[in-house]
Amino acid sequence: MGNKLSSNRNLQDIYTINKQLSENVSYRSEDSQTETLAQTLTFITDTAQQDEERMNTHHFALKEMFGSNFLKTIEGDVDFNSSSTKTLDIGCGAGTWLMDMATEFPTAKFVGIDKEALFPQIIRPANVEFYEGDVRNGLPFEDNYFDLVQIRLFLLAFDMSDWEGCLKEVYRVLKPGGYIQWTEPKLMDRGDEVVTEFSSRVHDMLVSRNQDPEIIEHQVDMLKQHGFVPKEKITKAIPLSNHPLSKEFMFIINISLDYCKPIIVEMYKHTSDEQFLKFKKSILVHRQRSSEATWSCVVGQKPTELS
């Protein structure tokens, strides 16, 4: 399936590039923050506002945040050194998590699926396969096939019926005793008045679209409702002002605001790009000064004995 990567060097190079980009945003006093952002945001938007950059940065920031590509429950029970072990990443994007895993565990098999073919077409580890497809239309895999299925960052993509269908499909393709690992961000940010007002608007907009803005509070119950046995949940918060990962997460937030531009323009009735850019600068300054990046990762197990 293409050329095998000999080490994590290529993946780490991606992280280094993204880190260098994020370091072009410097945060000083409140008076100078807006000016500094005005000078740097154009550079970041023009050079890094691509899904692949955002996904790669997400991957390495989350890996550092949680200390691994998977939680300890999985580490203790899934044998990634076995050739019979199969892992699926739903919504794999650029495939960075899969390639990182496949390089670390060259014996196991890794499969990614995404509705957009952002993943590598030629150069990738030999034990990785990619498929183009949307989980909402069903997964093209047989029952009881995978040992581990990962899903993450579907908060803004799924409504409640989408979650229902996705979790049913994950349950179907997992082997008895297999695991789901599900990671999502906290959308409702605690922060100053500017941040909380923005969060409130996003909350109301998502509710009006039958989406769940507080999904991390409901992950465990949703797993139970779909037949899984919850095994582990870890929630991590990174201060956006003074943590070693602050710049990475500010970089992600900046790109994510651009990604969500149509929604923001609709909410605030912006009529020009200048209005949106001014708003984005303000949100970035206030988020960096007053809030955190919070993520929750849960692990559930498909029962070994099915009724």
Does residue 233 register a pLDDT over 80? yes
Report the C-alpha gap between 264 and 203 in whole angstroms: 12
Three-state secondary-structure class, residue 231: strand
Q: What is the pLDDT of residues 247-284, one digit of tens each?
A: 999 999 998 898 889 889 999 999 999 999 999 999 99
107 neighbors 83 (Cβ within 8 angstroms): yes
Q: What is the pLDDT of residue 118?
A: 82
Cα dihedral 36, 23, 287, 282 sign: positive
In our burial notation (b when 16+ CB lie closer than 10 A, e otherwise), range 131-145 reads eeeebeeebebeeeb
Report the C-alpha gap between 106 and 127 in whole angstroms: 6
Number of continuous H segments (helices) and E segments (strands) in the chain? 11, 7
Does residue 228 register a pLDDT over 60? yes
Does residue 48 register a pLDDT over 50? no
Q: What is the pLDDT of residues 59-117, one digit of tens each?
A: 999 999 999 999 999 998 999 999 999 999 999 988 999 999 999 999 999 999 999 88
- Pairing between β-strand 174-185 and β-strand 292-301 as defined by DSSP bridges: antiparallel
For residues 41-69, give the mean pLDDT. 73
Which range, of 42-46, 77-81, 134-138, 216-220, averages the lowest pLDDT?
Answer: 42-46
Does residue 47 register a pLDDT over 90? no
- Pairing between β-strand 86-90 and β-strand 174-185 as defined by DSSP bridges: unpaired
The residue ranking higher by pLDDT, 45 or 266, is 266
Three-state secondary-structure class, residue 133: coil
**Residue 197 burial (CB count, 10 A):** 12
At 50, the pLDDT band (50, 70, 90 cuts) reads low
Structural element, H or E, at residue 182: strand 174-185
Q: What is the pLDDT of residue 284?
A: 96
At 52, the pLDDT band (50, 70, 90 cuts) reads confident
**Residue 223 burial (CB count, 10 A):** 23
- Separation of first and last alpha carbons in the chain: 38
Question: What is the domain partition of the chain in residue ranges?
Answer: 9-301
The residue ranking higher by pLDDT, 211 or 7, is 211
pTM for the full predicted model: 0.83
Report the C-alpha gap between 55 and 163 in whole angstroms: 21
Q: What is the DSSP letter of 200?
A: H
As its CATH architecture, domain 9-301 has: 3-Layer(aba) Sandwich (3.40)
For residues 7-12, give the mean pLDDT. 41
The residues near 16 (Cβ < 8 Å, ≥ 6 apart) are none
For residues 290-296, give the mean pLDDT. 96
Q: What is the pLDDT of residues 120-179, one digit of tens each?
A: 887 889 999 999 999 999 999 999 999 999 999 999 899 999 999 999 999 999 999 999
At 33, the pLDDT band (50, 70, 90 cuts) reads very low
